[in-house]
Amino acid sequence: MHIMEGFLPWQWCIVWWIAAIPFLVMGTIQLRRIIRKDREYLSLLGVCGAFIFILSALKLPSVTGSSSHPTGTGLSTMCFGVFITSIIGAIVLLFQALLLAHGGLSTMGANMVSMAIGGPLAGYAVYYLLRNTRVNIYITVFIVTTVADLVTYIITSFELAIAYPAQTGGILSSFEAFFIIFAVTQIPLAIIEGCVLTLVFKYIVALKSDILIKLNVFSEDQISRASHNEDQIVHLEIQ
Amino acid sequence: MIANYKIELVAVLAILVFVVVLLFINSGGNHKFIGSDDAGSQKISELTGNPIDSFVPIIPQYKPSNGEIETTFFVLQAAIGSFILGIIFGYWLAKKRSTRGQGD
């Protein structure tokens, strides 16, 4: 989903940076607040950040004949919300722009809006709709993480389509072309990411369910129902 | 027992299906599996009619001089994440173990 340095007109670079900055400011404020409130949150924050680092480094071949990488932002979105996720995503994008020439500093605003803000926002919307329903929490986690990944690539397609409308067919035709390159490639990878992050969430429930309850990710009742089985597994493994 | 590992089974099954489909698609060896980022850049070049080389960085940036160095940085990125993950999950597991030990 990286828009490479130099591949976005400077006017659009400014637009996307302006769109991203408020999220970074809010993210910094929330991050300071949450760390001051309870240092235990740092460990979960570390796990969420670590997964964004790992998954966004994995370039996987896909069924369309090209390669892409998962984003890993869904987990952080559920645990800490969109603003803090935007900070973690920005750190990863900065690392890749400075050391790997994947993305760039001028296009980082656009890349943040797709990976660190837009995808997480879509994931959070799904999470908000499903969290207080009877849907199993693991199914909710799977859908949220899959949607956050997939929407990231849809937004990248949109960003490029409005910057480079096709001569015939305009923005829509251009969007279709970028959608096939980015979003269609991403469908199987997003599903795999959903499965992996659901598994990770299961281990967090098994080992550190109290943080999830404190952060009100899911209700105590939902977590205790889910953790009942996981607790038995951990007990077996410890023995 | 198997019921306790439902999510693990689903994840492994999903990965297996993905790999089998991928092998089937690539059986003719027709795909190069280039990165979607590069494919996107190529599409921009097609749409604008400008060659890829004409897109110069707005802000100058470091580019790894070859694929090996690029791979090193990608591995470094994954290693940083894995290191943090290992420490935290290890800490959580040890804490849980000691809590249980005290309870017994």
Q: Please tell me if residue B9 touches chain A, with a CB cutoff of 8 Å.
A: no
CB pair distance less than 8 Å for A5 and B57: yes
Q: Please tell me if residue A156 touches chain B, with a CB cutoff of 8 Å.
A: yes
**A/B interface, count of CB pairs below 8 Å:** 183
Which pLDDT does position B67 carry in this prediction?
86
- Using CB atoms, pick whichever of A66, A92, A102 lies closest to residue B39: A66
Collect the ranges in chain A with pLDDT lower than 50: none
How far is B16 from chain A, CA to nearest CA, in Å? 10
- Does residue A122 lie in a domain region? yes
- Does residue A54 lie in a domain region? yes
Which pLDDT does position B2 carry in this prediction?
65
Does residue A223 contact residue B85 with C-beta atoms inside 8 Å? no
Which pLDDT does position A72 carry in this prediction?
93
ipTM entry: 0.88
Q: Which domain holds residue A100?
A: 10-238
A206: domain CATH number is 1.10.1760.20
Residue-wise pLDDT for A141-188, tens only, equals: 999 999 999 999 999 999 999 999 998 889 999 999 999 998 888 999
- Using CB atoms, pick whichever of B18, B36, B89 lies closest to residue A207: B89
Residue-wise pLDDT for B45-100, tens only, equals: 999 999 988 999 999 989 888 889 989 999 999 999 999 999 999 999 999 888 87
- Does residue A2 lie in a domain region? no
CB pair distance less than 8 Å for B64 and A47: no
- Does residue A3 lie in a domain region? no
- Does residue A5 lie in a domain region? no
Nearest residue of B to residue A44 by CA position? B88
The count of domains in chain A is: 1
